[in-house]
Amino acid sequence: MRVLLAIARTGAVFPVPFPDNGEPGPATTRATEPRLQTAYARVEPARQSDVHQATTTLLIANINFEDQNDVLRTLAEQYAAQDSTARRAITAAVAVAVTTISPKFDPNSDAQARVWLLGLRILNDRHYFARAR
């Protein structure tokens, strides 16, 4: 769940602050464990295995949860490097993160997650998330 919360916190502010969608406070305050659990409970059982696969992939990639730039770069790199099954899994994980921030979204839909991931991939291809030296 730590991976999903890191994605939610990052997506709450990048590339722009997530809209409030009628909820009080900044979107970052909505990236909480209880909200994540609520979002995850809405995920169809067959898709839950995709979410687990993605979190494992990101953990193996040594994602740094505390570094927003690393979260963005790791997501972009993994999304670009993986096969369609792994991309589907990463998309499913991001969809849960989006729903954590705003329950108006469906964690079983790829639409919002795919747009964000494709944007990250383009930015990463242009070295926007260059590693610190």
Q: Within a 13 Å sphere around the CA of 124, how many CA atoms are in the beta-carbon half?
A: 20
Q: In whole angstroms, give the CA distance from residue 65 to residue 75.
A: 12
Would you kindly state where each structural domain of the chain is located, as residue ranges?
2-17+31-125
Q: What is the pTM of this model?
A: 0.92
Q: What is the pLDDT along the chain (133 residues), one digit of tens a residue?
A: 899 999 999 999 998 888 888 888 888 999 999 999 999 999 999 999 999 999 999 999 888 888 999 999 999 988 888 788 989 999 999 999 999 999 999 999 999 999 999 999 999 888 888 765 3
Contacts of residue 113, Cβ cutoff 8 Å, sequence gap at least 6: 91, 92, 94, 95, 97, 98
Q: Which residue has the tokens 């690393």?
A: 70
How big is the chain by its Cα radius of gyration, in Å?
14
Give, to the nearest 10 degrees, the angle between helix 84-101 and helix 2-11. 70
Nearest residue to 15 via CA among 119, 127, 131: 119
